[in-house]
Amino acid sequence: MPPEKLNILDRVEAQISQVFDPHIVADVNDAQIKVAKFGPRFDWHSHRSEDEAFLVLRGRIALDFRDGVVELGEGDFLCVPRGVEHRPRALTPEPVVVMVEPAGTLNTGDADSALTVSAPKRLRAGG
């Protein structure tokens, strides 16, 4: 039997009600594909040992860096190298963003934060 396909945007609307609540879409080798709705402002943080990639599926976001800002729209992709401090934020209401990072990477990296999700849920196919 072939694997079941997953429409990420449909599943996000059905299963994710809060911003900055990452859900695992899939495990790919030693990495995880995660998806989240973004909100107005996240915490400054870095990932000492992990690169973190962002792909915007819907809406617009900004990634603040200590030396500038990068704005991303639908279809835009950006990889933040390990150790680079950054802070994501929404530019439109609840944009949907796919993130790719090593399995077990905390969403808040090295930041002590109330926004840390240490055990993300899995996005489920179907109803």
Residue 125 pLDDT: 84
Residue 112 pLDDT: 85
Residue 50 pLDDT: 95
Residue 66 pLDDT: 97
| Residue 77 contacts residue 70 (beta carbons within 8 Å) | no
Alpha-carbon gap, residue 93 to 106, rounded angstroms: 24
Residue 5 CB neighbours (<10 A): 6
Residue 117 pLDDT: 94
Residue 126 pLDDT: 73
Residue ranges of domains in the chain, CATH in brackets: 8-103 (2.60.120.10)
pLDDT tens, position by position, for the chain (127 residues)?
998 899 999 999 999 999 999 999 999 999 999 999 999 999 999 999 999 999 999 999 999 999 999 999 999 999 999 999 999 999 999 999 999 999 999 998 999 899 999 999 999 987 5
Question: Residue 8: is it exposed, middle or buried by C-beta count within 10 angstroms (0-12/13-18/19+)?
Answer: middle
Residue 127 pLDDT: 55
| Residue 50 contacts residue 77 (beta carbons within 8 Å) | no
